[in-house]
Structure 1
Amino acid sequence: MEADVTHHIIVPRHDLGLFDTLAGERTPLHAAGSFLPRLMLSIPPVNIWLNVRKPYPPIRGWIAQQIVKLSAAASLDVDIVLLVDSDIVFIRPVDTRTYAPSGEVVLYRKEDGVDESLPRHRLWHQVARRLLGLPPAEPGPLPDYICSPCAWQPSVVRAMLERVEAATGRPWATAVGGELHFSEMVLYGVYVEEVLGLAGRETTSDMLCVNHYDEVPLDRFTLGQLLSSVRAADVAVMISAKSGTSLKDRRQALTEFSNYS
């Protein structure tokens, strides 16, 4: 990491001991639960949380994870936050100029990226608009804001969450936790585009990352094919944990790539 980058490591509380050796001044270690409201309780052994204020529906782990991301981003007094899931590996250095070359965070936005083949994405758009107090989206293709890694401006996140509270009349985490379908990246993108406006704002459809989203395992040959598509501008590689790709193969392929690139 570049000198002006701090890597906040956020893991479940029971995994803190596994990451102790990584903790340092520029790599603070956090329990994920510390970014959730105190009234939001974990229900072991299932990956479900219960909001005491609104116990039904229970909060699925995937929704709780997104609340953690929103809360963590809003809490940081920094210029830019980069959301990096554990299945992303950086292959080149990054700093604030990577995702904010002119000083303002560039919004990832793929024009007409959500069509009839992605009904769940469209549902995420409708939920985001309702949480923000916006009218339903018009029929037809919608922009896609989902990317990995994902760059946010914390001051924008804070204003967005205030808007959710004003529109719903509830604490933002309670409002989000009450949803069965939700995307934090779509919420951010819809807020920036529909509330703040795109005039004068830089957008991009380039993630600067090579991605393997399919739930199909890669072997040494297909890993090599994936890495051969890396461009000079790319800074990361994402191989979905759901793909079932061997961790040993993944590490060996990435090590060989870094040695020869």
Structure 2
Amino acid sequence: MSTLAVITPSYAPDAGLFAELHRSVLEFTPDDTVHHVIVPRADRAAFAAYEGPRCRVLTEPEVVPRHYVRLPRGLWGNLRRPWPPVRGWVIQQAIKIAVAGSVDADVVLIADSDIVLVRPTTATRFTTDGELRLHRVNDGVHAGMPRHVRWHQVARELLGLPLAPEPPLHDYVTSLNFWDPVIVRAMQQRITETTGRSWFDAFTARLHVSEFILYGVFVDEVLATHPHSDTTICHNSWDDVPMDRETALAFADGLGPEAIGMMISAKSKTPPDVRQAALERCSEIVQRQEAG
């Protein structure tokens, strides 16, 4: 068993971004870390070159139950419950949970394709007394965040917990997150016992759901024994407009000393050379921070 595994759902349009993420995984994680990338069956060829001792390429049919079928426009159908169709981003979340619960590792790092690691990344970096810390922003969800409030309620319904109190609530959503596979498996079992359905079917039946809120609520309110912290481990830009070089460098200059990754949203369509300039600036900043 390895100490750390990395999980990335991706697809062909993001293959170029994945290449940079995977390069950083090879550079900044221990030698026994395996990067698991899950892609549509039709896109496997775009990722085949990365397959080897430190990269496992899985296709969606290897992870998603057989009674799910792909539909047009990014939707999925559950043949046991055909309506409503399942949105692709919900399936992607379920894939993260499924793979995280099945990997042979002590800790999994969930990383989307548009993230790049910029510092050495190990499981012990985010443990306290041998226990993995839960990412949590205390009272980070307020009444003006209705989707997050709904995600909390859905998590409680799936886990068989009482109704959520009024906001503020804790926020567990982050672009780069560590999970414990043992906890993931216990969470899957809890959902199955609570709903009387397979956890996958119960999860994907919800129109509004967040895998990170679900995991966080489970750890905090079912297990209630694990340490937590507000660790900003990824320097993020969620803007959906392309960055130019000047904007990208200004963004990179904000890299904090705790950040192990950088993310410029793929939705921004920022040119590769501009992303590379931001990454190089981040590398320079890391070198200065560590030298100082």
- What TM-score do the two structures reach when normalised by structure 1? 0.94
**How far apart in 1 are the matches of 2:129 and 2:244?**
40
Counterpart selection for 2:252 from 227, 240, 243: 227
State the Cα distance separating 1:99 from its structure 2 match: 2.6
State the Cα distance separating 1:256 from its structure 2 match: 4.8
**How far apart in 1 are the matches of 2:162 and 2:113?**
35
1:206 paired with 2:206, answer no
| Matching residue's letter, 2:233 | L
State the Cα distance separating 1:139 from its structure 2 match: 1.1
**How far apart in 2 are the matches of 1:79 and 1:133?**
27
Equivalent position of 1:150 in the other structure: 177
| Matching residue's letter, 1:71 | A
Equivalent position of 1:13 in the other structure: 41
**How far apart in 2 are the matches of 1:135 and 1:102?**
31
**How far apart in 2 are the matches of 1:36 and 1:189?**
23
| Residues 235, 263 of structure 2: 8 Å contact kept | yes
The DSSP-based 3-state class of the residue aligned with 2:38 is: strand
Counterpart selection for 2:56 from 2, 13, 28: 28
State the Cα distance separating 1:259 from its structure 2 match: 5.6
Counterpart selection for 1:135 from 162, 169, 174: 162
State the Cα distance separating 1:135 from its structure 2 match: 1.2
Equivalent position of 1:72 in the other structure: 99
The DSSP-based 3-state class of the residue aligned with 2:154 is: helix
The DSSP-based 3-state class of the residue aligned with 1:162 is: helix
Counterpart selection for 1:107 from 115, 134, 153: 134
Counterpart selection for 1:215 from 229, 240, 248: 240
Equivalent position of 1:245 in the other structure: 270
Equivalent position of 2:76 in the other structure: 49
The DSSP-based 3-state class of the residue aligned with 2:132 is: coil
State the Cα distance separating 1:49 from its structure 2 match: 0.8
**How far apart in 2 are the matches of 1:113 and 1:253?**
28
Equivalent position of 1:183 in the other structure: 210
Q: Which of the two has greater strand per residue?
A: 2
State the Cα distance separating 1:108 from its structure 2 match: 0.3
| Matching residue's letter, 1:4 | D
Equivalent position of 1:3 in the other structure: 31
The DSSP-based 3-state class of the residue aligned with 1:49 is: strand
**How far apart in 2 are the matches of 1:91 and 1:99?**
16
The DSSP-based 3-state class of the residue aligned with 1:250 is: helix
The DSSP-based 3-state class of the residue aligned with 2:55 is: coil
| Matching residue's letter, 1:125 | H
**How far apart in 1 are the matches of 2:282 and 2:186?**
41
| Residues 56, 178 of structure 1: 8 Å contact kept | no
Structure 2 unmatched runs, 5+: 1-28, 288-292
The count of aligned residue pairs is 258
| Residues 133, 227 of structure 2: 8 Å contact kept | yes
Equivalent position of 2:14 in the other structure: none
- What TM-score do the two structures reach when normalised by structure 2? 0.84
Equivalent position of 2:87 in the other structure: 60
1:193 paired with 2:216, answer no
Give per-residue Cα distances to partners, 1:132-176, cap 9 Å, x unaligned.
Answer: 111111112000000121110001011111110111111111111
The two structures, once aligned, show a CA RMSD in angstroms of: 1.5
Structure 1 unmatched runs, 5+: none
State the Cα distance separating 1:110 from its structure 2 match: 0.4
State the Cα distance separating 1:244 from its structure 2 match: 3.0
Give per-residue Cα distances to partners, 1:44-64, cap 9 Å, x unaligned.
Answer: x32111111111111110001
**How far apart in 2 are the matches of 1:185 and 1:138?**
18
**How far apart in 1 are the matches of 2:148 and 2:167?**
13
Give per-residue Cα distances to partners, 1:38-94, cap 9 Å, x unaligned.
Answer: 111111x32111111111111110001011101000111211011000111111121
| Residues 255, 282 of structure 2: 8 Å contact kept | no
**How far apart in 2 are the matches of 1:68 and 1:207?**
24
The DSSP-based 3-state class of the residue aligned with 1:83 is: strand
State the Cα distance separating 1:33 from its structure 2 match: 2.8
